[in-house]
């Protein structure tokens, strides 16, 4: 006799900054949303530095995150090179003549080197970053400065997250950035029910020595949804 009882939801522990975590859950496909119970425990709190940033009309920006766009200046029609479709769209909405230059820092560096602008560049970023975008472009002969417009302040796992990791039959933890992966691994979660998914190989490497069960095929939301769905199916 077939068992038609509904499957129990799986706990989805969201550790990225709250606004991004909530957006990821809100945009989740309906069939997947029906299978998870989100628990929010941001490991990084985003805080603007408040530093004034004056850009000359002939400067072009580099944005490797949407937070850089949010806390950076208005575009006023200036050129911007962006990582990812969402950051590109946000930059356009803020007045930048923005173009997507790849899905990660490596792709952006390669794109700029292959399509050199006749402008000086400024990487508008957070205090903590990986990929050394500015340094690599300077080495390639470009004029690049950096502007730090936000900070990523570490936060401990909250009680709801710790309870979920102890009491849930299965907890899926998607990790979206190397910094979040480092913070999560540092807090030494040892619950056997964890199924950790990394957005990229760089994120998986940063999570060491924590076991990463799978890596998304591409560093984007659609691939993360697919990886979460696969984790639920194989759980």
Taking the model in full, what pTM does it have?
0.81
Cα angle at 231 between 195 and 34, to 5 degrees? 110
What pLDDT, on a 0 to 100 scale, did the predictor assign at position 54? 78
Q: Say if residue 193 is exposed, middle or buried (CB neighbours under 10 Å; 0-12, 13-18, 19+).
A: middle
- Say what the pLDDT of residue 192 is: 65
Domains 10-43+156-234 and 47-152 share a fold: yes
What is residue 190's predicted lDDT score, i.e. its pLDDT?
Answer: 64
Query: Within its chain, how far is the Cα of 187 from the centroid?
Result: 19
Segment holding 79, helix H or strand E: strand 79-82
Per CATH, the number for 10-43+156-234 is: 3.40.50.10090
Contact between 45 and 16 (Cβ < 8 Å):
no
Low-confidence ranges of the chain (pLDDT < 70): 1-7, 188-193, 235
The answer to whether 221 and 24 are in contact (CB under 8 A) is yes
- pLDDT, one tens digit per residue, over 7-65 is 678 999 999 999 899 999 999 999 999 999 999 999 999 999 987 787 888 899 999 99
Domain ranges for the chain: 10-43+156-234, 47-152
**101 three-state secondary structure:** coil
Give the count of beta carbons closer than 10 Å to the beta carbon of residue 119.
16
CATH class of residue range 47-152: alpha beta
């Amino acid at each position: 006799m077939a068992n038609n009882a509904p499957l129990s939801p799986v706990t989805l522990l969201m550790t990225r900054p709250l606004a991004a975590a909530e957006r990821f859950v809100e945009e989740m496909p309906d069939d997947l949303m029906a299978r998870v119970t989100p628990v929010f425990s941001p490991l990084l709190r985003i805080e603007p530095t408040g530093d004034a940033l004056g850009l000359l009309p002939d400067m072009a920006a580099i944005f490797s995150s949407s937070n850089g766009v949010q806390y950076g200046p208005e575009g006023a029609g200036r050129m911007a090179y962006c990582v990812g479709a969402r950051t590109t769209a946000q930059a356009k909405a803020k007045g930048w003549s923005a173009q997507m230059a790849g899905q990660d820092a490596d792709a952006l560096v390669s794109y700029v080197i292959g399509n050199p602008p006749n402008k000086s560049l400024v990487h508008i970023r957070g205090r903590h970053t990986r990929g050394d975008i500015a340094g690599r472009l300077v080495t390639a002969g470009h004029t690049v400065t950096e502007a730090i417009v936000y900070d990523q302040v570490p936060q401990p796992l909250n009680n709801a997250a710790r309870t979920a990791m102890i009491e849930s039959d299965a907890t899926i933890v998607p990790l979206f950035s190397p910094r979040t992966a480092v913070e999560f691994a540092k807090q030494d979660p040892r619950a056997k029910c964890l199924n950790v998914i990394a957005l990229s190989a760089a994120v998986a490497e940063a999570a060491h020595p924590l076991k990463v069960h799978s890596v998304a095929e591409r560093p984007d939301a659609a691939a993360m949804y697919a990886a979460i769905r696969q984790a639920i199916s194989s759980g």
